[in-house]
Structure 1
Amino acid sequence: MELINFRGEIAALGAAFLWAVSTLMFGRLGKQLVPLLLNFVKGSMALGFILLTLLWRTQSAPELPLFSVLFLLLSGVIGIGLGDTAYFAALNHLGPRRVLLMEALAPPMSALLALLFLQERLPAIAWVGITLSVGGVAWVITERVPDVHPQGENLPRGVTLGLLAALGQAVGAVLSRAALADTAVDPLWSTLLRLGAGLVCMLALLRARPQAGGGWPALRSPLLLGGVAIAAFLGTYLAIWLQQTALKYSPTGIAQSLTATSPLFILPMALLLGERISARAVLGALVAIAGVWLLL
């Protein structure tokens, strides 16, 4: 089998890895910047990276049907402007591992929405694969010690924000799939449109909530600014480009299910940091890998 036949699935796994790395970074950065401002700054940096790449590749703007442009813009508003902001807010309440667990709800949401609105039907074996991969992720995450110990109203607030983040990911993915499925547009251009729309949404929210922009002075720190730049490059620029590639070349349910395996990549990171990995964590990883195999 040629790898080109699975470029969508490979791109999804690449995005999953980068999201795992960047989530750990954003978890630390979120302690110094409020979620909306952090989302806006990392999105602005990622937009700059994309523009530089397009200039380097000397690609002209594609001709897209109006409905595709509208779907991509709406996808950016919901998935990046609102969904990512909810994700960063949930990160402050629940910690990286619990938030990644909540994101595991995005694939079944995406598959259901794609079934309802795109008539995108998956064979039974693909649904089994989705169930195994998501179940394996949940098995791994729930066994690990949480990064934070929410108390009182923080836990329900964090869970609500996590659900909104997962729903934003699902809706954004379905809209992107609807816009890209029958077009020849480069995924980088679609990423540019989504990020641009998301930034306009965030800018409007920042103007409506001036207190959310009170963290600007913290960005004078070169160390903090450099950390945001690295996380934006990995988790937004590269990861969203790969996600758009996955959504273009593979069905929505499969693309979202594979990107939901990002918590599994934390296991080798934990080993490198000297943590012990339990038998349950290994078993959960094997179950999720079995699900990936079925999807492929």
Structure 2
Amino acid sequence: MIGFFAAISAVISWTFACSIWRRESENFLPRQINIYKNVLASIFFLPVLLTISSFSDVFSIFVLMISGIVGISIGDTLYINSLKIIGTRKTLSFEALTPIIATTLGALSINEIYPPKVWIGSFVVSFSLLMIVCQKTFQKDDSRETNLLGILYALGSVFCAVLAALMSRVILISSTLTPLQTTEIRLLSASIFLFLIFKKDFLYLIKNRSITKQNHLSLILSTLLGTNCGILFQQIVFKFLPIGIGWTLLSLSPVFALFISKREGDEINKLTIFYSFLSFIGVAIVLI
């Protein structure tokens, strides 16, 4: 049950944080938002480093650093680009692919054996979320080329997220590192990576006086929700649940995003509600 409640908490945190990041993407470049939130989040959890024994967990720390760079530095930058182009709900809906991808990778790479109900439930969730994507509910008049770019960004972020989650899962079940410790290692490595590449963007955010207090407050709130809490809850999920089951639960973000859809010009129809309900049935199949 710990993994289940952690997954739902992560989903809620991500959904509201994504809405803020999308709004702020009108004022900042996606990479600027990503470096801002990761540096700030790693500072919030900095005291955690004092509890880590670097000598006894060198390999684990190295794997987590790679996981942070792939999943947070690269994946989140692609993710925020997608938020800016195609919106919160549609970006989150591309997580329709993650239950099947994660379940397959878990079975092939770390020999996690899943009963038939997990495969069936993962497929139902993936199908339901894919149908939500297919609903023509997004009212914004975007060009086909722009939408395609947003879709590519979303798919890239999904691939990075699953790969990074797989690495995290391996370390969480094979080392003594806690979810909080792995969260800070991933955040810090992602922050250093982004700072080395986008140093000018970070300095711009620090020195630019045109950035309002409201902008900073919004980014701080979204960082606490989506980065600190979101990633910590995610690590707890992968500590207690196999990656396939964990990602099936974490993929429910599009359903929770329905609550903020009208604010983004996204009109919800009856089919969208039906497929959202069907996705919960898929999760129930997995958990029963």
Same fold (TM over 0.5): yes
Residues 155-176 of structure 1 deviation map (CA, whole Å, 9 limit, x = unaligned):
2222221111010101010000
| TM-score calculated relative to the size of structure 2 | 0.89
Conserved? CA contact 1:140–1:285, under 8 Å: yes
C-alpha root-mean-square deviation of aligned residues, in Å?
2.6
Give the alignment partner of residue 72 of structure 2, picking from 80, 84, 87.
80
- Residues 250-273 of structure 1, C-alpha deviations (whole Å, 9 max, x = no match): 000111111110111123445899
- Residues 199-236 of structure 1 show CA distances to partners (whole Å, capped at 9, x for unaligned) of 112112214xx579756526731100000000000011
Deviation larger for 117-126 or 31-40 = 117-126
Which residue in 2 is equivalent to 1:41?
36
Provide the rounded CA distance (Å) in 1 between the counterparts of 2:25 and 2:32: 10
Which residue is 2:25 aligned to? 30
Shift in CA distance, 272/36, structure 1 to aligned 2, threshold 3 Å: closer
- Check whether the contact 1:129–1:295 (CA below 8 A) recurs between aligned residues: yes
Structure 1: gaps of 5 or more residues: 1-5
Paired AA for residue 65 in structure 1: D
Shift of the 147–41 alpha-carbon distance from structure 1 to 2, 3 Å rule, reads farther
Which one of 196, 211, 217 corresponds to residue 204 of structure 1? 196
Q: Is 1:122 aligned with 2:117? A: no
Is the CA contact (8 Å cut-off) linking 1:93 and 1:148 kept in structure 2? no
Q: Is the 8 A contact 2:137 2:268 kept in 1?
A: no
How many residues of Structure 1 are paired with residues of Structure 2 in the alignment?
Answer: 285
SS at match of 2:114: coil
2:181 to 178, 189, 203: 189
- Corresponding residue number in structure 1 for 2:211: 220
Answering whether residue 129 of structure 2 is matched by residue 134 of structure 1, we say no
2:255 is matched with which residue?
A: 264
Q: Which moved more, 1:146-155 or 1:189-198?
A: 146-155
Who is 1:3 aligned against?
A: none
Structure 2 regions of 5+ residues with no counterpart?
none
Aligned AA for 1:282?
I
Deviates more, 1:210-219 or 1:261-270: 210-219
Mean Cα deviation higher: 242-251 or 252-261:
252-261
1:143 and 1:152, CA in 2 relative to 1: closer, same or farther beyond 3 A? closer
Identity of aligned residues (%): 25
Alignment correspondent of 1:170: 162
Q: 2: distance between equivalents of 1:188 and 1:212?
A: 25
